Amino acid sequence: MPPTFSDRMSHVPKSFIREILKDALMPDTISFAGGLPNRTLFPTEAIKAATRKVFALYGNGLFQYSASEGLIDLREWIAGRYKEKGLHVPLENILITNGSQQGLDLLGKILLNAGDGFILEEPGYLGAIQAFALYRARFLPVPVSENGMDTKKLRAILESEQPKLIYTVPNFQNPSGITYPEENRHAVADIIRGTKTLFIEDDPYGDLRFTKTKHTSFKTLLPDNTVLLGSFSKIVVPGLRIGWIAAPDPIMQKLVIAKQASDLHTNPFAQCVMHQYLRDNDLDAHIAKIVTAYSAQKEVMRNSILRHFPAEVTSTNPEGGMFLWLTLPQGASALDLLALAKKDKVCFVPGDPFYINQSHRNTLRLNYSCADIETIETGMGKLANAIKTLLAR
């Protein structure tokens, strides 16, 4: 007989995107549905060279059990990178994780009791919704737009609730592509400052900036109660599964205990390879290549929208990252659009899973990192037709 599962399992949304991606994997479908970095830009030769080198340098030492906190050299490299950006994050406050998804899981594990208030962006990152739903967070969604976070709503929530956490992706957010403007960051920080709400700043895309503008990190604005999440997945490769959490001392201590109970430690071989790659290569030059490609792809997608889409369909204009967000006229359903689009062999992710308990929303996410310019033009043409058919109904 099947066992009774824990209550926490009844709170996890099904993976909608997983189902969608099944279609996306058909070779003749143009997919704007994925959330993947472009694999043609992976620095595989350089990683291969780094791998060869660590075998020569460390031999058997690569494969023993190792420290739960992660490889010291790699943590030092990350601390140095923060320093270049003007952030003071000592290596002792950095824990290496299996990608930043694990960072979310560990934070949920050490911080959340069932029913604890949790502020998240709406639309918000699906991986965070999944991770925190498992710890039975009580979600308190706050709308975000190209103006950043809705400070009126945020203030109202903080006046009536004592949320444990606030989770944000302030740069080129997944799913919407928006970036919090500078003034909005200060306004949000002013509201949070002095409360007991811990600020989680997840920044997987921050380095993929298409413009010169620079924004202040919440770590600068709220130095004592900000936890940073970082990842090499979008700037090197996702397949080495290396991310990190940077957290103040008392939180770090609990995170290490939780990491140990969860999987002892992150793959030391992958950590050594990543560190060697970072040591021997110019990461910023590599990032510049990714930025050049994604920026051009974004421009083509954005121009297709301006040229071919009905005027009542609006989109964000991301300053970086991998996603663009489309809003259909009020009442139109992106799920209905998907049914039409699939017939014409093009797909995307409807907005629904990025909201808490909402369906048939009029929004959708388009990914531009994985398709070349010609494919984007063809796919966006098909999508324009599907939208026209939908709106003519």
- Identify residues 78-97 at the interface with its own copies (CB under 8 A): 97
Decide if residue 234 touches its own copies (CB under 8 A). no
CB of 44: closest distance to its own copies in angstroms?
A: 5
Decide if residue 241 touches its own copies (CB under 8 A). yes
Decide if residue 254 touches its own copies (CB under 8 A). yes
Among 12, 72, 283, 356, binds its own copies (CB under 8 A): 12
84 vs 14: CA distance, rounded Å: 40
Among 75, 164, 286, 365, binds its own copies (CB under 8 A): 164
CB of 241: closest distance to its own copies in angstroms?
A: 5
Distance in Å from the first CA to the final CA of the chain = 49
Among 96, 258, 340, 371, binds its own copies (CB under 8 A): 258
Map the footprint of its own copies across residues 105-144, applying CB under 8 A: 105, 109-113, 116, 127, 130-131, 133-135
Residues paired with 245 in a beta bridge = 95, 229
Q: What is the DSSP string of 187-202?
A: HHHHHHTTSSPEEEEE
CA atoms 80, 72, 284, 281: torsion sign: positive
**5, 12 Cβ separation under 8 angstroms:** no
137's CB contacts (< 8 A; 6+ apart) are 108, 112, 116, 117, 118, 164, 165
Tell me how far the alpha carbon of residue 325 is from its chain's centroid: 14
Nearer CB in complex with its own copies: 86/239 = 239
Nearer CB in complex with its own copies: 112/332 = 112
CB of 161: closest distance to its own copies in angstroms?
A: 15
Ramachandran category for residue 346: left, alpha or beta (phi over 0 → left; psi -120 to 50 → alpha): beta
271 vs 78: CA distance, rounded Å: 12
Decide if residue 221 touches its own copies (CB under 8 A). no
261 vs 264: CA distance, rounded Å: 6
Decide if residue 27 touches its own copies (CB under 8 A). no
Decide if residue 331 touches its own copies (CB under 8 A). no
**120, 128 Cβ separation under 8 angstroms:** yes
Torsion on CA atoms 243, 247, 252, 256, rounded to nearest 10? -10
In three-state secondary structure terms, 130 is helix
Q: Taking CB under 8 A as the rule, which mask of x and - marks residues 54-73 in contact with its own copies?
A: -x---xxxxxxxx-------
Decide if residue 31 touches its own copies (CB under 8 A). no
CB of 14: closest distance to its own copies in angstroms?
A: 8
Decide if residue 22 touches its own copies (CB under 8 A). no
Map the footprint of its own copies across residues 179-208, applying CB under 8 A: 196, 198
Among 31, 176, 225, 333, binds its own copies (CB under 8 A): 225
| Residue 146: DSSP 8-state | T
Nearer CB in complex with its own copies: 34/148 = 34
